[in-house]
Amino acid sequence: MIADDTQTCQPLAGGQSLMPMLNLRVAQPEVLVDLNRIAALSFIEIQNDVVHIGAMVRYTALMHSPLIDKHVPLLAMALPYIAHQAVRNRGTIGGSVALADPAAEMPAVLKALAATIVVVSAHGQREIPAEAFFLGIYETALDEGELVHSIKIPLATSGHRFGFYELARRHGDYAMAGVAVSAQSINPCTELSIVFFGVADQPLRAVDAQAVLEGCAISDNAALTAAQQSLPAELMLGDTGVSADTRLQLARVALKRALLSMAD
């Protein structure tokens, strides 16, 4: 059905974004394909040096998974910030990836962790790096007829450090600004990966900030200030609640607080 291009078709995962969109008549597919009973898409397992997570794994399952706690701590840090328990009971990691909401936590976390998105179609399977997967607001590298199958995330190694911070008016809201940080080490910082969410049209890698901080101690104030200043003002989006200027200010604060939390 998904391969059939004579009708508009929408896969239904946890439905925590799609159902409201249907209610609002923003999405009007002719066919809904319910993925909820495909047991083969609900697995969490270790394969060599990655954790492999099926697209239909729900947030609550991830939160209760010792594998995630141990091997993907950044994901574990982000999960409690996703909406509310009722939403997490239904919402899936694959649904969030496929939707590509730039304000959502999952795309930024996966990008920060250099995860790989495994997609399938009638023609077979391919793997797309998270870095190249999220292209814009609700826009991904998925081709017509392709479905997110699973996500592969490299295992954290000892010494690997992570930071996560988000600013939301109310717990569970989409962030006004948030950031996911991963580093191979922090004193000095090496292989720093900094990805913002809720600030631009896609999960935003802070390339300049990474470069500024690389090789510096994480608590180096001058480097931190320079990193804050290096955030790309021109990519910040404004909306009804927050102007682009405020967004930039909040992103800078989020960065500082995420990094400081890693130094503790």
Which stretches of the chain bind other proteins, using CB under 8 A? 20, 23-25, 167, 169-174, 176, 240-243, 246, 249-250, 253
Cα 101 to Cα 41: distance, rounded to the nearest angstrom: 21
Compare residues 54 and 102 and give the one whose CB is closer to other proteins: 102
Compare residues 126 and 257 and give the one whose CB is closer to other proteins: 257
Compare residues 113 and 176 and give the one whose CB is closer to other proteins: 176
Per-residue tokens: 100: 């590509």
Compare residues 35 and 227 and give the one whose CB is closer to other proteins: 227
Min dist CB 174 to other proteins, Å, is 7
With contact defined as beta carbons under 8 Å apart, do 21 and 12 qualify?
no
List of long-range contacts for 67-75, beta carbons under 8 Å, 24+ apart: 68/44, 71/46, 71/153, 71/155, 71/156, 72/113, 72/153, 72/155, 72/156, 73/156, 73/162, 74/109, 74/112, 74/113, 74/156, 74/162, 74/164, 74/180, 74/181, 74/182, 75/109, 75/113, 75/153
Min dist CB 212 to other proteins, Å, is 20
Per-residue tokens: 63: 């939160």
Cα 10 to Cα 129: distance, rounded to the nearest angstrom: 23
Name, in order, each residue with C-beta under 8 angstroms of 87's C-beta and a sequence gap of 6 or more: 16, 59, 172
Compare residues 123 and 169 and give the one whose CB is closer to other proteins: 169
Min dist CB 2 to other proteins, Å, is 25
Per-residue tokens: 237: 């989006």
Min dist CB 88 to other proteins, Å, is 14
Min dist CB 79 to other proteins, Å, is 16
Min dist CB 16 to other proteins, Å, is 12
Min dist CB 169 to other proteins, Å, is 6
**Three-class DSSP category at 64:** coil
Compare residues 7 and 240 and give the one whose CB is closer to other proteins: 240
Compare residues 14 and 54 and give the one whose CB is closer to other proteins: 14
Q: What's CA 137's distance to the chain center, in Å?
A: 13
Cα 78 to Cα 95: distance, rounded to the nearest angstrom: 16
Cα 51 to Cα 17: distance, rounded to the nearest angstrom: 25
